[in-house]
Chains A and B, each alone.
Chain A
Amino acid sequence: MSVLDRKLLRDLRRMWAQVLAIALVLACGVTILVLAVGAQRSLEDTLDAYYERNRFAEVFANVRRAPDSLLPDIRALPGVRMAETRIVGQVVLDLPGLAEPAAGRVVSLPDFGDPALNLPMIVAGRPPDPDRTDEVMVSRAFAEANGFVPGDRFAANLNGRKRVLTITGTALSPEFVYVLGPGAMLPDNRRYGILWMPRRALAAAFDLQGAFNDVALALTREGQAEAVIPALDRLLAPYGGAGAHGRAEQASHVFIEGELTQLRAMARILPPVFFLISAFLVNMVLQRIVSLERGVVGLMKALGYSDAAVAGHFLKLAMLVAIIGIVIGWGMGSWLGRGMARLYTEFFEFPYLVFQPRVGSYATAAAAGLLASGLGALQSARRAAALPPAIAMAPPAPPVFRRGLSDRLAAFAGLSQPSMMVLRGITRWPGRAAFSVLAMAAAVAMLMSASFFPDSLDEIIDTAFFEQNRQHAMLILAEDRADDVVEDVRHLPGILAAEPLHAVPAILRSGTLSRRLAVEARDPDARLSRVTDAAGRPVEPAGSGIVLSERLAERLGVGPGDRIEMEILTGRRETLLLEVSGTACIHFGLGAYMDRAALARLLRKPPQVSVVNVAMDPAQADALYAAAKNTPGLAGTVLLFQTRASFRATIGENVLITTMVYVVIAVLITVGVAYNSARIQLSERARELASLRIIGFTRAEASYILIGELMALAILAQPVGWILGWIFAYAQVVSFSSDLYSLPFVMNPATYARSSLVVLSASAFSALIVRRRIDRLDLVAVMKTRE
C-alpha cells in the first residue's frame, strides 16, 4: 500500500463520525435500490415461474350455465391454445370453533387427471377422490389459519344443501395468490378459503350436469386477449355469459401487479434523493478537507506528484466513503429484502418466494453510490489539482466578506456581533447554506409523507365504515332474488334492520374509455349503506341517473350532466344510456350507484336483491350466525366490524413499521447534514472561536455562533420541508390511487409539528455533540498552529 493510501485510511479513521454520517445517508439509497429492485425482480421471477409451471390461464369467463358441447367451439376460437371448463361457486361454511359463518370459493377438479389450466400445487395430502362427494382439498392459508390438517372435517352449505366435508389435502394455485373474499378489503384466511372438489360432486350440487359455469383459456403465442375476449363473449352470451376478462382484470393478479407498480415507483423516486444528499455531503466535507490540506496539496506538488495524482487522492477518499455506504446498504438491503419476502408470504400465497439478491441490483446500487460520491468530490478534487503549488504552500487568504443588503438590515435590527457572525456565515456560503436547508427540508418532507398515512387511513375508516357502510353485516345471496327475501331476512334472529342492494355486473363506457364493475342499486331511503361526497353529505342518484365515484368519473373522463353507456353483462345484456347525476367520494374500488327501482324500470323487471345489508343485535349474534350457516341461497356473509378491525390491525402494523423506517431515514439525513456542517464550521471557525474565548467570551457565547448558524438553517428548513412534504404526500396519494383504492389527502397540523420536531431535535443533538468539542478547545494550541 502506498503511503498516500495509508494516509487516506488514517484520515478516514480520524474523521470516522463524519464519514459514517455520510455513508449512512448513501446507504439508505443503496438499501432502497437493492430492496425495491430485488423484491420486484424476486416477485416477477417467482410469478413468472409459478404461472408458467402451474399453467395460469390468460382469459377467464363466468357464465350462468353453458352446455359442455360448447367447449369444442371455444377451443376452435382463433388464438386459443387450450380451454378448460369448470364449475365454481360461492359456499357458506360452518367451521368448528368459529361462531360466525365463513365462506369459500369452490372450484371443480376434472374427473380424470390434473386440470389443464390453473393447476393447483399440492402441499400436503392428496386431491379428493373424483368419485366421492364428501372430500375436499383446501387452500394452504385457509388450512393454516384454521389449524386444519388432512382428515379434519367441516360443514359446507353447497347450494342450499348442508354437507360435512373431509379435507384430503392442502394446495396452492396461481389463480389465488392473493385471496379476497366478496366484500372484504384484506385477506382473511380464517373466514375465507378456496376449496377444490371433484367436478361430479359439484355438478350434482349446483345442478350443472353436462354443463359448466366457468371457463379458462390459454392463448397461442400470437393470440391476443383483446381479440379472444369479444369472440368468447359472443359464444357465451346466449348462456348468460358475464363477460370474459384477461389477466389484467383477474383479482389476484391485479393485486400483485399493484404491489409491483409500487416497488417500481419506490426504486425510481427515493434513491435519487439519498444519492443527491450524499453527493452534497461529500462535496461539502471534501471542500473543507482540501482547504485544510492545502499544505499537503502544495507539498505533494512540490515533491513532484502530478495533478492527476493529487485529484486522485481526494477522489479516492470519496470512493472509500461510498464503499462504506455501499457495503452497509448491501447488508441492510439484503436483510430488509428477506423481511419483505416474509411480509409477502403473509399477504400472498406463493409456493416459494426467495428474496434472491440480484447481482444486477447490487451492481446498479453500487455504481449509483460511487457515481454520487464521485460527482460530489469532483469539484474539490479539481480545485486541489488546479491549486498552484506556491499558492498552496502559503496560508489561504481569509474568505472575502462583503457588506450586503442583509448586513444593513441586520445592523438596522440591532443584531449583536455574534449574531452578525452567524448571519455572515450563512450569506458568505449561500450555496452550502441553501443545500443544507434543502437536505434537512427533504428529511422533514419524508417524515410528513410517512406520517400523513395514518391520518389518511383514519379518514378512510371514518368514511368507509362510519359514513358509508354502516351496516353490521352483508348477507350475499347466491343469486338475485325478489324483494320478499328482505322480509325473510328480517325474520332471522337478532335482525334490527334489513335493506336490499342490487349489484349488476356491467361495463361502463364513455367513448373509448371503459371500466368493468358491479353497479350497486339501492333504495332511496337506505340508511345502513349509502354513498357520500367528500364533505360527508349523502349523494342520491337522481331519477334514473347514475352516481360515479370521483375516480371512476375521472377514469371515464365524465362529470355530472354527461351521459355514459352501461352494458349489462347478465340477463338480456342490454345497453342503457344513463346520465351522470353526481359523484361520490369512495376509497375502495371504483363505485357506480343507481336507484334500485329506477334500474328495475329500465330493465323492465321487478326490483331485484343480490345483497341484504343488516343491522343486528349483538346479543343475538350467535343465533343469527347459526341461522345464516343453515340458510339456503346464501353465498356468504361479510361482518363489517370484523373487516374494520382486521383493516386497522393489518394496516396499523404496516404503518408502524413504515413510520419507524422513515423516522430512522430522516434522522440519518438530518444528522448527516447537521453534524457535518457543524464539524466543518467548527474547523473553519476554530481560531475565531478560540480568539473569542481568549478575549473573554463564555463557552456558551462562543457555542452560540456555531450552534446558532446550524439551528438557523434547521429552522429555515422547516417551512421549505412543509411545502416539500405536502408535495411528496400529494404525489403519494396520486401514485397510490388505482382502480382498487384511493387515499384521501389528509394533512393535519400535528403532522407538520411531529415532522419538524424530529428534524429539529436531530439537528440540536448533532449541534450538541459538536458543542462538546468547543468546550474542549485548547485555546493556546489553536492560536499557535498555523492555519
Chain B
Amino acid sequence: MAQPIFRSEGLTKVYRTGDVSVHALRGVDLSLYPGEFTVLLGPSGSGKSTLLNILGGLDRASGGRAWFADHELTAMSDRELTRYRRDHVGFVFQFYNLVASLTARENVALVTEIARNPMPADEALARVGLDQRMDHFPAQLSGGEQQRVAIARAIAKRPDVLLCDEPTGALDSKTGVQVLEALNAINSDLGTTTVVITHNAGIQAMAHRVVFFADGRIAEVRENASRARPSDITW
C-alpha cells in the first residue's frame, strides 16, 4: 500500500474553558491514503471536527503527533502552518464562509491570488457547475450554490487534500446531492484526497474509507469494496 498522506499517533486535544476541561480527542491513531475519499462519521462532540482542524493546520494538538506526508504537523510553527495551509489544503465549511461583499468569482480569487499554481477561478467554478453564476454575490445564490462556490474556492489552488466539515449539513437532500457530486468529481478527476465530516450515515456509501468516531476515539475503520454514486444517496 502507498505511503499514507495523513498519519497520526496518539493524538489528543483538550479544550479548557474556564474551570471545565473538554477532552475532544483521546488518542487517535489514523492513516489516510492519497487519492482516497474518506468519510468521518460520528455523533456531535465525538472529535471529528477537532481532528480535521488539526490535520488542516487550523488547530494544534495537546499531545501526540501528526504527519502530512513527511512533514510533522505537530512540530510546525504558526508560520509553517500558514504556509502548509496555503500550499496544500483546501477547506469547505458547513456554513460556506463566503465573504458577503465579494462575488463568486472574487471569493475564488481570494485563493488564486495567493496560491502557487492555481487554476483560473472560472475553471474552478465551471467544475462545480457554476459557470453561469460567477458574478453573483453570496446573497444572490442558493445554499447549495454557495457551498459549491466554497468548494470551487477550496479546489482552485489545486490542493493535495480537500477537508470538508459537514459540507451538506445546512442543505436539503437535493442540493446536498449536487454538492456531493461536485466533491466526487473533484476526487475522481483531480485525484484530490478528500476527507468529509458528516452526520449523515448515508454518505458513507460513496467513500473509499469510513472512519467511525465516538467519544474522542476511533471506534472503527471500514473500507468499502464498492462505492455508491452520490445520486443514489438520499436523506
Binding site for B on A (CB under 8 A): 2-4, 6-7, 10-11, 14, 295-296, 298-307, 309, 388-390, 393, 397, 786
B91 within 8 A of A: yes
Of residues 47 through 81 on chain B, the ones whose CB sits less than 8 Å from some CB of chain A are 53, 56, 58-59, 78-79
How near does chain B come to A493, taking the closest CB pair, in angstroms?
85
How near does chain B come to A290, taking the closest CB pair, in angstroms?
14
| Pairwise interchain contact A302-B106, C-beta atoms closer than 8 A | no
| Pairwise interchain contact A299-B58, C-beta atoms closer than 8 A | no
A-B contact count (CB 8 A): 76
A14–B102 alpha-carbon span in the complex (Å): 13
A389–B114 alpha-carbon span in the complex (Å): 18
A and B contact pairs by CB, cutoff 8 A, 17 listed? A2-B113, A3-B107, A4-B110, A6-B102, A299-B97, A299-B110, A301-B82, A302-B91, A303-B86, A303-B91, A304-B84, A304-B85, A304-B89, A309-B114, A389-B58, A389-B59, A393-B97
| Pairwise interchain contact B59-A299, C-beta atoms closer than 8 A | no
How near does chain B come to A439, taking the closest CB pair, in angstroms?
29
Given A295-B95, A303-B91, A303-B153, output 14 extra A-B contacts at Cβ < 8 Å: A2-B113, A3-B109, A7-B99, A7-B102, A7-B106, A298-B97, A299-B97, A302-B97, A304-B86, A304-B89, A304-B157, A309-B114, A389-B59, A390-B58
Q: A6-B106, A786-B95 are in contact. Are A301 and B58 (CB under 8 A)?
A: yes
Of chain B, the residue at the smallest CB distance from A306 is B82
| Pairwise interchain contact A390-B53, C-beta atoms closer than 8 A | yes
Contacts of A300 in B (CB 8 A): 110
Of residues 88 through 132 on chain B, the ones whose CB sits less than 8 Å from some CB of chain A are 89, 91, 93, 95, 97, 99, 101-102, 106-107, 109-111, 113-115
Contacts of A389 in B (CB 8 A): 58-59, 85
B227 within 8 A of A: no
| Pairwise interchain contact A299-B99, C-beta atoms closer than 8 A | yes
Contacts of A390 in B (CB 8 A): 53, 58-59
A6–B58 alpha-carbon span in the complex (Å): 26
| Pairwise interchain contact B114-A3, C-beta atoms closer than 8 A | no
Contacts of B111 in A (CB 8 A): 303
How near does chain B come to A495, taking the closest CB pair, in angstroms?
83
| Pairwise interchain contact A307-B114, C-beta atoms closer than 8 A | no
B83 within 8 A of A: yes
A398–B110 alpha-carbon span in the complex (Å): 30
| Pairwise interchain contact B102-A304, C-beta atoms closer than 8 A | no
| Pairwise interchain contact B85-A10, C-beta atoms closer than 8 A | no
Of chain B, the residue at the smallest CB distance from A390 is B59
Q: A301-B58, A304-B86, A307-B78 are in contact. Are A7 and B97 (CB under 8 A)?
A: no
A389–B56 alpha-carbon span in the complex (Å): 10
B87 within 8 A of A: yes
What are the 8 A-B residue pairs with the smallest beta carbon separation, nearest first?
Answer: A304-B86, A390-B59, A10-B101, A304-B85, A389-B58, A3-B106, A390-B58, A3-B109
Of residues 4 through 60 on chain B, the ones whose CB sits less than 8 Å from some CB of chain A are 17, 53, 56, 58-59
Q: A3-B106, A6-B102 are in contact. Are A305 and B97 (CB under 8 A)?
A: no
Of chain A, the residue at the smallest CB distance from B112 is A3
How near does chain A come to B60, taking the closest CB pair, in angstroms?
8
Q: A3-B110, A3-B113, A6-B106 are in contact. Are A302 and B79 (CB under 8 A)?
A: no
Contacts of A295 in B (CB 8 A): 95, 97
A397–B15 alpha-carbon span in the complex (Å): 14
Of chain A, the residue at the smallest CB distance from B106 is A3
Q: A3-B106, A14-B101 are in contact. Are A305 and B95 (CB under 8 A)?
A: no
Contacts of B85 in A (CB 8 A): 301-304, 389
Most chain B beta-carbon neighbours within 10 Å: one of A6, A304, A305: A304
Contacts of A309 in B (CB 8 A): 114
Contacts of A299 in B (CB 8 A): 97, 99, 110
| Pairwise interchain contact B56-A302, C-beta atoms closer than 8 A | yes
Contacts of A298 in B (CB 8 A): 58, 97
A14–B101 alpha-carbon span in the complex (Å): 9
The answer, among B82, B93, B95, B97, for a CB contact under 8 Å with A304, is: B82
How near does chain B come to A243, taking the closest CB pair, in angstroms?
75
Contacts of A305 in B (CB 8 A): 82, 86, 114
The answer, among B17, B59, B91, for a CB contact under 8 Å with A388, is: B59
How near does chain A come to B29, taking the closest CB pair, in angstroms?
22
Contacts of B86 in A (CB 8 A): 303-305
Most chain B beta-carbon neighbours within 10 Å: one of A295, A300, A309, A390: A390
How near does chain B come to A761, taking the closest CB pair, in angstroms?
35
A397–B89 alpha-carbon span in the complex (Å): 27
How near does chain B come to A55, taking the closest CB pair, in angstroms?
66
Contacts of B110 in A (CB 8 A): 3-4, 299-300, 303
Of residues 188 through 227 on chain B, the ones whose CB sits less than 8 Å from some CB of chain A are none
Contacts of A301 in B (CB 8 A): 58, 82, 85
| Pairwise interchain contact B59-A296, C-beta atoms closer than 8 A | no
Contacts of A393 in B (CB 8 A): 58, 93, 97
A4–B106 alpha-carbon span in the complex (Å): 9
Contacts of A10 in B (CB 8 A): 101-102
How near does chain B come to A298, taking the closest CB pair, in angstroms?
7
| Pairwise interchain contact A303-B101, C-beta atoms closer than 8 A | no
A296–B232 alpha-carbon span in the complex (Å): 35
How near does chain A come to B131, taking the closest CB pair, in angstroms?
19
Of chain B, the residue at the smallest CB distance from A309 is B114
Contacts of A11 in B (CB 8 A): 101
How near does chain B come to A532, taking the closest CB pair, in angstroms?
69
